[in-house]
Chains A and B, each alone.
Chain A
Amino acid sequence: MIELRKVAYSYGGGELFAEVSLALQPGSFHFLTGPSGAGKTTLMRLLSAELLPTRGEVTLFGQPTGAMSRDDVAGARRRIGLIHQDCQFLDHLTLAENVMLPLAVAGRQPEAQGNIAELLAWVGLTRQADQKPPSLSGGERQRAALARAVIGSPELVLADEPTGNIDWEMSQRLLTLLAELNRMGRTVLIATHDLNLIRAARALVPARTLRLAQGRLVTAGADL
């Protein structure tokens, strides 16, 4: 599904990481952890074809990202549910409209009619459905980003610090949803520095933890 082969990324004259190789198999669940500034967000952006590697190759759904056209990238993004650290929305649309945006751009809007209310209820945003994003709290925005990322039943969910702005209870609910998605065959990769979240996930899903530090990606042990 996703493969990184000897990937390096340079930024501002320095090399953020090098020789990073990784294969995410369909239906797998991964955590990506590491200290701040190690390049977790950059790695996530490489995986969603937002960035191209300086060296090496990233293969997304069987296609090298460097050889993808703009249409190819858009097509690949429709198969990925992205949750960014700084969740961005279209401020003039309602929360519900923002959540169903992935379906609207894919021409699958009618599918939203049935499941959007259910999804918003699940993330606890039913009352906020008709509100505009600027009026939402940080936690509400994070939950809305999660709903938007999963509404199209993506094959892969990439979540960058998805629990950064939400309380522990909501983090657990979010984790449960991602674990459910994983049980339905979706591949999940969560970048987080929250080790408690990783530990909590072990009870829900067989997750593999990767650690990015000092420019290298290694599999972390059970000592986390």
Chain B
Amino acid sequence: MSILSAPRSVAAEMPPDRVVPPSGFTAQLTVLAAAAMAFLAVFALALGSAAGRLAERWDAELARTATLRISAPPDQIAAQTEAALRVLQTTPGIASARAMTSAEAQALLQPWFGPDLPVALLPIPQLVEITTTDAGFDATGLRARLQGEVPGAVLDDHTRWRAPLIAAAGRLRVFGGLAVALIALSMAAMVTLAAQVALAANERVIRVLRQVGASDRYITRAFVRRFTLRGLAGAAAGTAAGLLAVLFLPGDDAAGGFPTGLGFQGTGWLIPLAVPPFAAAVAWIATRTAARRSLRAMT
């Protein structure tokens, strides 16, 4: 080596976090914690997203429909149904009204009673499916008219059970957000712990750095950079794994129910991409706070 040429190890500028020893269990702990938390965060976001979609769907599907149930002796049922349809056709706000066939009624009951149900032998009320206009109809007025002209009719405008369903879906959405917040807090706690352990384990390193004139800001920056990068790398891996897992869940169409419809749609797939930078920000804040506190305590 020529006396005037720099040694290989100083040919490039040394990044500040080079002064932090690279190995140790705190490194693995940070990466693992970030990966696990990001994986869980993706599921929490998927839950929130699915709950939001479900609430919108229930709201849209149920808002423009109503059902009329006619319970009457068998010899009167046809007459009352015709009377009810006449009333509905002349009610403002109702777009269409249609008496459901016994086959349709059987299809509705099939999930509970099976395909062999003898509908004709059972005193099943006649159902009338109502589709409303965007403006909707006056439910109180219609009930009063039906009471006079179709005594066996009961109007169900779905508000009674639509509201709790939408509220439940909204609550699920809130739980999803809460889960993300708790995951972020847990990750912050874990990174803080790992950073404190790393700072304590590297007391000798810090002493050497101070001896050569490193300010607390420089030392903090070195540790923060190291832990932020670890947090980012772990969270990126966890997010990728979480997205793959969500991708391979059965979709809505496959099973039709909520739990299997967990996932993202359209641009919603971009939301989890915010998890790694968010995790890095959490790691940055947690390490900075821990480093400042630890360095203040070190004489």
Residues of A within 8 A of B (CB): 70-71, 73-75, 77-80, 82, 84, 88-94, 96-97, 100-102, 104-106, 109-110, 112-114, 116-118, 120-121, 126, 129-130, 148, 152
Q: A77, B1: Cβ atoms under 8 Å?
A: no
The verdict on A126 contacting B1 (CB below 8 Å), with A78-B213, A88-B204 known, is yes
Q: B205, A90: Cβ atoms under 8 Å?
A: yes
| Number of B positions contacting A (CB below 8 A) | 34
Q: A118, B19: Cβ atoms under 8 Å?
A: no
Q: A96, B4: Cβ atoms under 8 Å?
A: no
Q: Counting CB contacts under 8 A, is B210 at the interface?
A: yes
Q: A105, B10: Cβ atoms under 8 Å?
A: no
Q: A74-B210, A109-B13, A130-B8 are in contact. List 8 more A-B contacts (CB 8 A).
A: A89-B208, A92-B22, A94-B10, A101-B19, A102-B212, A105-B218, A117-B5, A121-B3
Q: Scan residues 196-233 of chain B and give those whose CB is less than 8 A from a CB of chain A.
A: 204-205, 207-218
B140 CB contacts on chain A under 8 angstroms: none
The verdict on A116 contacting B10 (CB below 8 Å), with A93-B18, A97-B18 known, is yes
Give complex CA distance A77, B210 in Å. 8
**28 A–B pairs (Cβ distance < 8 Å), ordered by A:** A70-B215, A70-B295, A74-B214, A75-B213, A77-B210, A77-B212, A78-B213, A84-B211, A90-B19, A91-B21, A93-B9, A94-B7, A94-B10, A96-B9, A96-B10, A97-B9, A100-B14, A105-B212, A105-B214, A105-B218, A109-B13, A114-B4, A114-B6, A117-B7, A118-B4, A129-B9, A130-B8, A152-B213
For B6, give its contact among A71, A80, A93, A112 (CB under 8 Å).
A112
Q: A71, B4: Cβ atoms under 8 Å?
A: no
The verdict on A117 contacting B208 (CB below 8 Å), with A78-B213, A97-B14, A105-B213 known, is no
Q: Counting CB contacts under 8 A, is B76 at the interface?
A: no
Give complex CA distance A109, B210 in Å. 17
Q: Counting CB contacts under 8 A, is B267 at the interface?
A: no
Q: Would you give the 0/1 interface string for B1-34, flagging 1 where the beta carbon is closer than 8 Å to chain A?
A: 1111111111101101011011100000000000
| CB-based A-B contact count at 8 angstroms | 107
Distance from B208 Cβ to chain A, minimum over Cβ atoms (Å):
5
Q: B208, A77: Cβ atoms under 8 Å?
A: no
Q: B209, A101: Cβ atoms under 8 Å?
A: yes
Give complex CA distance A94, B9 in Å. 7
For A101, give its contact among B1, B212, B295 (CB under 8 Å).
B212
Distance from A77 Cβ to chain B, minimum over Cβ atoms (Å):
4
Distance from B90 Cβ to chain A, minimum over Cβ atoms (Å):
85
Give complex CA distance A99, B8 in Å. 14
Q: A96, B218: Cβ atoms under 8 Å?
A: no
B11 CB contacts on chain A under 8 angstroms: 113
A101 CB contacts on chain B under 8 angstroms: 19, 208-209, 212
Q: Scan residues 270-299 of chain B and give those whose CB is less than 8 A from a CB of chain A.
A: 295
Residues of B within 8 A of A (CB): 1-11, 13-14, 16, 18-19, 21-23, 204-205, 207-218, 295
B215 CB contacts on chain A under 8 angstroms: 70-71, 74-75, 105
Q: B10, A77: Cβ atoms under 8 Å?
A: no
> In chain B, what residue has the closest Cβ to A110?
B13
Q: A74, B213: Cβ atoms under 8 Å?
A: yes
B22 CB contacts on chain A under 8 angstroms: 92
Nearest 3 CB-CB pairings of A with B = A78-B213, A129-B7, A74-B215
Give complex CA distance A113, B8 in Å. 10
> In chain B, what residue has the closest Cβ to A79?
B213
The verdict on A148 contacting B3 (CB below 8 Å), with A96-B10, A97-B9 known, is no
The verdict on A130 contacting B9 (CB below 8 Å), with A88-B207, A90-B208, A117-B4 known, is yes
A112 CB contacts on chain B under 8 angstroms: 6, 10
The verdict on A100 contacting B214 (CB below 8 Å), with A88-B208, A92-B21 known, is no
> In chain A, what residue has the closest Cβ to B202?
A90
B213 CB contacts on chain A under 8 angstroms: 74-75, 77-80, 102, 105-106, 152
Give complex CA distance A110, B209 in Å. 19
A78 CB contacts on chain B under 8 angstroms: 212-213
Give complex CA distance A82, B211 in Å. 7
B212 CB contacts on chain A under 8 angstroms: 77-78, 82, 101-102, 105, 148
